Amino acid sequence: MTRRIGFVRTAVVAVAVLALAGCNAIPGSGPVQVGLTDLKQVDQLVQFNPSGPVAGSSQEDLVRGFVQAATSSSDDYSVAREFLSTEYADQWDPYYGVLIDDGSRPYRDDGDFAGVLSLAAAANVDAQGLMLPAEPGPTTDMRFEFELVGDEWRISSAPSGIILDRSDFLAIWSSHELNFVGPDGLLVPETRWYLNRTALATEIVGGLIEGPGRRMQESVQSGFPAGVTLVSGTVPIVDGHARVDLSSELLEAGPETLKLVEQQLSTSLKSVQGVTGIELLADGASLFEGATTTRSELRPSADIVNAAVVSDGALGLLIGGEFREIEGLSGPVLDLDPEAVTLSFDGTAAAVRHGGGVTRVTAEESAIVDDRPGLVDPSFDVYGTIWTVQRATADQLRATTPDGTGLAIAAPWLAGRDPVAVRLSTDGSQIAALVESPDGSVVLVAGVVRDDAGVPLRTTDEAVAQLWTTGSPVDFDWIDQTKFAALTDLGNASKVTTGGPGLFAQEQGSVPDGAAISGGGLRSQLRVLGDGDALFASQGSGWQRIDNGIELLAKRG
């Protein structure tokens, strides 16, 4: 048929925010990591030229000048160190992390020899380059201590790490996807932030060797053999090729390991400016040389897909403004009087929530997978498993494999919560829930632990708040492997906010009476069902009504 139709906070976040007070160092998750100390002399590519201290500066002037001077990493942050006392200049560690704020920064004295800078924190980046958003709330106080050096004030104690407002941060730092190995060789990206400098390729390779961050360590791993190191400590770029010379431990690995190493390198380094390929060596002997590779060639992913909807009593896809019924699925799905529909990634199956629970539907058969009351919309993972969640017992998930085996999956981070949506990332490595927070809504993200065949075992014990937004929670969906979108209710309108693990939240405008949201591979493919039966598409900074008569907006995966 073809026709045209018009809360409780997680421990990780608490540490990430509360540890900022006083003279504590700028926080991050997990233990302090040893950075690439031999690269400290390498200058950033975008240069700021801050001034050193001015004679007769007040304590406040000194603090503000010091913070501004930290926009330049040249010569191991030499300008910023001029604001410090001689003894403390060697102790201050600018590489511990970055606190990103809105730039307002009121200052107050705290006695004769100390002062406090109050920051409206937006996010922080730890020593591994992992970003966490800061919870909305009171400002974060950063304490500085002073001493007189001759007749001039100098800072004798300051928080470790640096402070940047968002515009300065984005001018000199950039996000990159480090690709690690999941079950069955599936490559999974983890977003990291790095200072834009000539050592960028070296830092990315160092991050791959070190392995995934603490939150993802149970879900993915590095394919690099244990003990392997960079022979020269750097990754030079020669004629567009990143020359990665690893130690002899690489030679002891089998061909499958070498393939994984090559894939991790080629996908992770392709975002580095000027890198068009890689050369992999072991103790100087060349093992591989080739172009950088796109993700889609190496792992299943949610390609840009057309919106799936129910309209005029049929389930179909909207393709170029045309409605095309999904033959084989439409009839059995509509027979269930669906309240929500999720299609598998290959489009051959549907998970349908209805009055009796959730049923798996294919062209050949239908089988109920969860008959509990109060279920949220189901989610398919990339392995074909259907995940169902009962709001009243959200910490006990159910995963039903393609052969009908039902698995109880523990999710302790959802205990006592009432999620409106729980969905798997498109590569199945992470699970996210949209829940209510004291100030609106929050997206919590945990890792999924699987066996070597991809069968889920459990989720990680903790989840991390990866997006805070205003309004009560309505719906949520992943856009692709690293980004998602949340729909919240502000009373007279519904707001769309996009984000992702390690990414800034971005407000995307509002839709009248938004009821459901569906991702589609790109922000431009986002669809929202609102204003009764109207379908809205993202256009520019707002939303455009593209169709009417839509009874239900389905999801993919």
The string of pLDDT tens digits covering residues 512-523 is 999 999 997 777
End residue of a domain, out of 275, 297, 319: 297
Shared domain check, 435 and 456: yes
d(CA 264, CA 208): 8
d(CA 52, CA 79): 6
pLDDT of residue 39: 44
Shared domain check, 359 and 470: yes
Shared domain check, 197 and 185: yes
Confirm if 191 and 131 have CB atoms less than 8 A apart: yes
Compute the average pLDDT of residues 421-437.
Answer: 96
Residue 302: inside a domain: no
d(CA 10, CA 437): 12
Shared domain check, 242 and 158: no
Residue 142: inside a domain: yes
pTM exceeds cut of 0.85 = yes
Shared domain check, 230 and 279: yes
358: containing domain: 308-556
Contacts of residue 479, defined as CB under 8 A and 6 or more positions apart, other chains included, come to 485, 498, 500, 519, 520, 521, 522, 523, 525, 526
pLDDT of residue 492: 81
Shared domain check, 369 and 265: no
Shared domain check, 130 and 15: yes
Q: Which two tokens stand for residue 19?
A: 């540890």
Q: Please state the length of the chain.
A: 557
Confirm if 319 and 326 have CB atoms less than 8 A apart: no
Residue 484: inside a domain: yes
Tell me, what DSSP letter sits at residue 377? Answer: P
d(CA 145, CA 165): 22
Q: What is the mean pLDDT of the chain?
A: 89
Residue 343: how many other CB atoms lie within 10 Å: 23
pLDDT of residue 28: 36
d(CA 284, CA 287): 9
Shared domain check, 365 and 413: yes
Shared domain check, 355 and 278: no
Shared domain check, 231 and 121: no
Percent of the chain with pLDDT over 90: 81
Compute the average pLDDT of residues 196-207.
Answer: 95
At residue 542 the predicted structure's pLDDT band, cuts being 50, 70 and 90, is: confident
At residue 5 the predicted structure's pLDDT band, cuts being 50, 70 and 90, is: very low
Q: Which two tokens stand for residue 178?
A: 């480090």
Q: Residue 501 above 80 pLDDT? A: yes
Region of residue 204 (phi > 0: left; psi between -120 and 50: alpha; otherwise: beta): alpha
pLDDT in tens, 122-151: 999 999 999 999 999 889 999 999 999 999
Residue 23: inside a domain: yes
End residue of a domain, out of 140, 155, 171: 171
End residue of a domain, out of 110, 143, 171: 171
